[in-house]
Structure 1
Amino acid sequence: MAGDSTAQTYNSGYYPQAGWGQTLPGFFTSNITVANRAIGGRSSRSFIEQGRLAAIHDVIKPGDYLFVQFGHNDATTGNPERYTSPADYKEYLRDDYIRATRSRGATPVVVTPVSRRSYTSPPGSSTCRSPSTWTPPRPWPRRSVCPWSISPRSAVPT
């Protein structure tokens, strides 16, 4: 699994905080191994730049799955180490995560990014903030959509 803090595994000192990837093994039988490489503060770009995706690609095998979830930190325009433009985000997902994973015989699974919560006044209230470059469709569809759409599987060359 490649992702940010919303997917990472936290040590017990952070309990009850947990990333969704931390709980994923509970949905599989004991013969399935989940290697959670998600780490807080990373964007689709910084995960690559730090060699973390290469480390996954070094050990991934045909028949494996790579769950990929970024977007939460990619949208932080005030942090140049994290920020990734929507065009670059699409390119990284398409070329570095999807194509490169497929070329190793593994199956990439792109997971919809978790929205960032913004706690503002009045105290105790919060709003869900999506990247400023994304405008949700109207009317809002009944099922969730990825803020930055990627080509359908058949249109992404291997």
Structure 2
Amino acid sequence: MMKWSTSLRMMLCTVLATSMIAVGLGTDRVEVAEAASDHYKFDFGAGAVTNGYTGVSASTAYTAARGYGFNTPANMKNVSASGSGVASDAVQFLKFGTKSDNTFNVDLPNGLYEVKVTLGNTARASVAAEGVYQIMNMTGNGATDQFQIPVTDGQLNLLVTEGKAGTAFTLSALEIRKLSNQPVTNRTIYIGGDSTVCNYYPLASSVQGGWGQLLPSYVNNTTFQVRNMATSGQIARGFRDDGQMEAILKYIKPGDYFILQLGINDTNAKNNTTEAQFKEIMRDMVRLAKNKGATVILSTPQGRATDFNSSNVHQAENRWYNASTRALAQEEGVTLVDLNKLSSAYFTSIGPAATLALYMNGDSLHPNRQGASQLARIVAADLKRQGLNGF
């Protein structure tokens, strides 16, 4: 199937002085020539193309003349999806991994871009670009999210990759918008953590929440963007060694914050991590981020909803290797948000019943959306109290 090149699309727009020109290419696929070279919209799959988008099927190979396409289309597959519009079909990545060459490539002028992804049908999948993770563990059919990325080599290379083994890794739509000619991310708050911190989808309406997901509500968004790299079940060793810390270190810079909260899963015997090992792995990540010029913040995890004594005082200081996190913050001279103690004080003030209502039903560990919002509020308030700006 013939595709119009990016340069031809732009030439047509200039000559005709229109904001958008749709050019029919058969009965089921439509190419769109867009007026603005800083805004690109792709609709993936074999079905009809949504108005305003450029259609891309699994067989669309990248060529320099076209300016976009799959690097190895033999490793792609057209699949259906259960959404509507751009989410009614998708492509599936049959080969994946952050270092995979099975990417969707788009030629772009160097600069800073905002990339919005819409997945197809998938249980859990992550998004990678430029060889590192960008979004962790998007869940549910038709999930959407976005991220900032600097392009420095004239091309974006993106794929959907493993979030959970055995599930399909699919992509329904991609929207790319240029933010700046300077290929540098805005000031960023990077977050590392586990299931009490991570994102749940849909981001705006999920029943369960992690406090990292809700933190943007308490951040000055003209100053900072928030990049939550936390994932369910994560331990310190896994965060450092399995790609999440790598992604942060690729982009983190002076003026950025790195908030790290782990320990809950590290204390589980199956993860074979002693408290001494946990502390040294955390120390390694603290120093790596400090060496990039970032402000590092350690946080202790909140306790369980049921950690009340007979006097209805909530207390969980000795959980989750908290003592080592507190000691490490002092030893390395970094900011500590003692969320464990701060949340216990809050839970004590509202009482056991109201505290339980901030957690998932039948689950004393994981906060619901309301609980995550309260934890995010506490984190932001404590950082503001300690003199950090942006909250």
TM-score scaled to structure 1, two decimals? 0.72
Unmatched 5+ residue regions in structure 1?
Answer: 119-127, 135-145
Partner in structure 2 of residue 36 of structure 1? 228
Partner in structure 2 of residue 61 of structure 1? 253
Shift of 1:110: 0.3
Residues in 1 aligned to 2:319 and 2:219: alpha-carbon distance in whole angstroms? 31
Partner in structure 1 of residue 241 of structure 2? 49
Instruction: Output one character per residue of 1:29-83: Cα deviation in whole Å (capped at 9) or x when no partner.
Output: 2212000000111101111121211111111011100000001111111x23xx4
* 2:279–2:328 CA contact under 8 A, matched in 1: no
Number of corresponding residues: 131
The 5 A counterparts of 1:11-22 are: 11-12=201-202, 15-22=206-213
* 1:7–1:19 CA contact under 8 A, matched in 2: yes
Partner in structure 2 of residue 2 of structure 1? 192
Partner in structure 2 of residue 101 of structure 1? 289
Greater RCO (Cα-Cα under 8 Å, separation 6 or more): 1
Shift of 1:116: 5.2
What amino acid maps onto 1:3 in structure 2? G
RMSD over aligned CA atoms reads 2.6
Shift of 1:130: 2.8
What amino acid maps onto 1:85 in structure 2? T
Flag the 1:47–1:117 CA change in 2: closer, same or farther, 3 A: farther
Partner in structure 1 of residue 327 of structure 2? 150
Residues in 2 aligned to 1:117 and 1:74: alpha-carbon distance in whole angstroms? 20
Flag the 1:147–1:130 CA change in 2: closer, same or farther, 3 A: same
TM-score scaled to structure 2, two decimals? 0.31
| Higher CA-based Rg | 2
Flag the 1:70–1:24 CA change in 2: closer, same or farther, 3 A: same
Flag the 1:22–1:75 CA change in 2: closer, same or farther, 3 A: same
Identity of aligned residues (%): 34
Shift of 1:156: 2.5
Residues in 1 aligned to 2:201 and 2:295: alpha-carbon distance in whole angstroms? 28
